[in-house]
Amino acid sequence: AQKVTQAQTEISVVEKEDVTLDCVYETRDTTYYLFWYKQPPSGELVFLIRRNSFDEQNEISGRYSWNFQKSTSSFNFTITASQVVDSAVYFCALGEGYGGSQGNLIFGKGTKLSVKP
């Protein structure tokens, strides 16, 4: 069965601190996709990153970085020098392999990040 676990329900940090959001996934597919989405209080889901199962390169985008480790089935997300605007709920999601599949996304329960000034 496919499953995404975000063990941290809520995290609170002070501005400029670094914070890592954990994501562990389970899947039997050999080809799959991992995503992070941000959901600010307004409710809209903002796409942050997509990773293929065959690409384990870590990625950095500004203050955001992602660490994909297939060996531990983890896809962790780090925000460096956090800012108040980073406050949101962050969802990790697992997508089925393309190639005729519906492409459903399985979401973790989300981690609520609060960044205090």
Partner 1 sequence: GAVVSQHPSRVICKSGTSVKIECRSLDFQATTMFWYRQFPKKSLMLMATSNEGSKATYEQGVEKDKFLINHASLTLSTLTVTSAHPEDSSFYICSARDFRWERPQETQYFGPGTRLLVL
Is 25 among the residues that bind partner 1 (CB under 8 A)?
Answer: no
Is 80 among the residues that bind partner 1 (CB under 8 A)?
Answer: no
Q: Alpha-carbon distance 91 to 12, whole Å?
A: 16
Three-state SS at 54: coil
What tokens appear for 117 in the block? 């000034």
Which residues face 96 on adjacent strands?
none
Using CB under 8 A, which of the segments 19-27, 64-72, 77-85, 94-102 binds partner 1?
94-102
Hunting for tokens 């796409």 — which residue is that?
A: 47
Is 108 among the residues that bind partner 1 (CB under 8 A)?
Answer: yes
Q: How many residues bind partner 1 (CB under 8 A)?
A: 22
Is 77 among the residues that bind partner 1 (CB under 8 A)?
Answer: no
Minimum separation from the CB atom of position 77 to partner 1 (A): 16
Three-state SS at 116: strand
Q: Among residues 80 and 112, whose Cβ is nearest to partner 1?
A: 112
* Residue whose C-alpha is closest to residue 87's, from 26, 12, 20, 22: 12
The contact set with partner 1 (CB under 8 A) reads: 33, 35, 37, 42-47, 50, 91, 95, 98, 102-105, 107-110, 112
